[in-house]
């Protein structure tokens, strides 16, 4: 499974959050986070598949991004310390 442009999109999303939420963490569901990935060129299902691979440590996920998993699905994303 190849994911084009994901690393760049994830980095851009974390930079956007750092700029707009400088003193706190950002928290939202998967769809909220997906909306931040403006440079990404993929659909929501591909993004969910990517997150599943990321939580297994198989693909890139920035250190400041944490995924909350419930019943085998990513339900929430937290960006920040």
Domain enclosing residue 59, as ranges: 6-79
Is 55 a domain residue?
A: yes
pLDDT at 39: 59
Is 1 a domain residue?
A: no
Is 62 a domain residue?
A: yes
Give the contacts of 1 (CB within 8 A, at least 6 positions apart): 49, 53
Query: CA end-to-end span of the chain, whole Å?
Result: 30
pLDDT in tens, the chain (81 residues): 455 677 777 888 888 888 888 778 888 888 888 777 765 667 778 788 888 888 888 888 888 888 888 887 888 888 886
Is 27 a domain residue?
A: yes
Total domains in the chain come to 1
pLDDT at 41: 65
Beta strands in 1-81 (DSSP E): 26-28, 65-70, 73-79
Dihedral angle sign, alpha carbons of residues 77, 46, 43, 6: positive
Structure tokens at 24: 């706190």
Is 70 a domain residue?
A: yes
């Amino acid at each position: 499974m190849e994911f084009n442009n994901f690393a760049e999109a994830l980095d851009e999303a974390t930079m956007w959050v750092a700029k707009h939420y400088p003193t706190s963490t950002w928290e939202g569901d998967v769809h909220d986070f997906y909306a931040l990935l403006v440079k990404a060129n993929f659909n929501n299902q591909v993004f969910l598949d990517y997150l599943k691979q990321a939580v297994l440590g198989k693909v890139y996920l920035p250190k400041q991004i944490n995924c909350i998993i419930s019943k085998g699905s990513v339900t929430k994303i937290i960006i920040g310390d």
